Structure 1
């Protein structure tokens, strides 16, 4: 079994951080672009090496929940795919998914957390409430898991165990959509099993959501089309207002999903898909690189890319004032 991702020797320079004209840091990583048929269009670094795909797997995990019988649609389906910031709107959707499955937030086994949204967090603290699992960014996915277990009459108490029928179905779904064998299994930050596949496999898997048809004779592809539609119709659920993933989805119609440890996936409406992994685990430049690769592929236009740049928070501050920026590294192409 593979026990490591790629090394610096096989990585590309994807981004640099400049302060007052001095390049202070460099982000090495790997990236890949695939077309709507899964064909390789461009690669940087070592995209065939395995990565723990972290939260970029959420659409695939939610697809397994639908396959198991979870009755989710619209915003309730989108929140199951989200890494949300814990606003009252996000939390209400999670509680509603649980309530429809005759459960409440006590069934959630993701760790307790405060909302990532500062205003929501401050409001809870002022009211004297404690952190709770329902505010954790992955609580929507866990609520979807629980809804699936209820529908399939599987145990809810052990829904995160790797040998649970739902998690076995998730693993099968990841393998089927990526076209790869899972190369390692671990425990994600939220407690769910997380799987290692290549960036190329991840990009191909996510492209299949864009190309899935609601009229397909196969239920798994009808469900994939349903997930694609729900996320793009309700982008605020996926992260939150003003956050990069949600802004890119809302303004460009491009599916966007970030994951911990430097993961970023973008999928254009034409099915062109980009997957990026920063080797140092930083998430601050992944969206910039992914947007540039979609731009180089001709799947988005320069005007649209420029429009969403403010949401990426690329400024470097000194004394509270802009003194530099996060920029593309020398290995990222302008076209290919």
Structure 2
């Protein structure tokens, strides 16, 4: 675990744990700056290497959920840092004992983005085009929309994945993981939020509408995690409370509740998106077979936009999907 001081650290400072990728550092620094501005205290960035950063196999086979979160959580529990910043979609749906999500900042764009050669879109990609993704959820929904596509499993951080597209140069942001081949694909699919946070949105040739591709539960949202005492009465407790966005927390609570009830990990072919409209909450979800030939897509509304209602909404929609055969369809845990 290596520490990098971003502002004057010392007495009265707080430490923020992060992965070392360009995207993780960008997200973490944004949160740290907001907390520092609100609290008046300086911060220190602590880089933590995770299993997901050092293992080169397919992401869906790296030991289930939480491969990017486990080391950060251990650093929190061991006192190596005071708060950690995660991409919420990478977190297991069950919260570990001794840690809380103290803040969910305002969510960014939830959509997936196609980054293709020559400005191509999903509809204009040629027959048999090769599209890279490490996500079974994305792969299944791509195949449902375009069964002719050839899906290629890819690894690496954002710059490396963009470099797989013909005509695009790689960005050295991941220490070489997954960079054995470059320029061999017609397109890749990435989260638009990550591309935008890195200032790489010019590579997007199409934002994929949720009617075509529902995002991962929690996509576009960040989670600021810490020990309960840090959130309740720590140096930056008021700043954490002020950073939390209620609309974002309601939406991701419903989405993660659904994922938990399905007993599906973040690599499962499951998409979910909740939205808050006035005083009501709506949740839509899809469960796919991995080859995209079968999809179950359902939606439900909650009578009230509260955290309790959001959690219940996720459970109820998951129950409806399971009753319709979702577990067998996506090879989820036995129910």
**TM class, shorter-chain normalised?**
under 0.3
Q: Normalising by structure 1, report the TM-score.
A: 0.27
Q: Report 1 or 2 for greater relative contact order, CA contacts < 8 Å, sequence distance ≥ 6.
A: 1
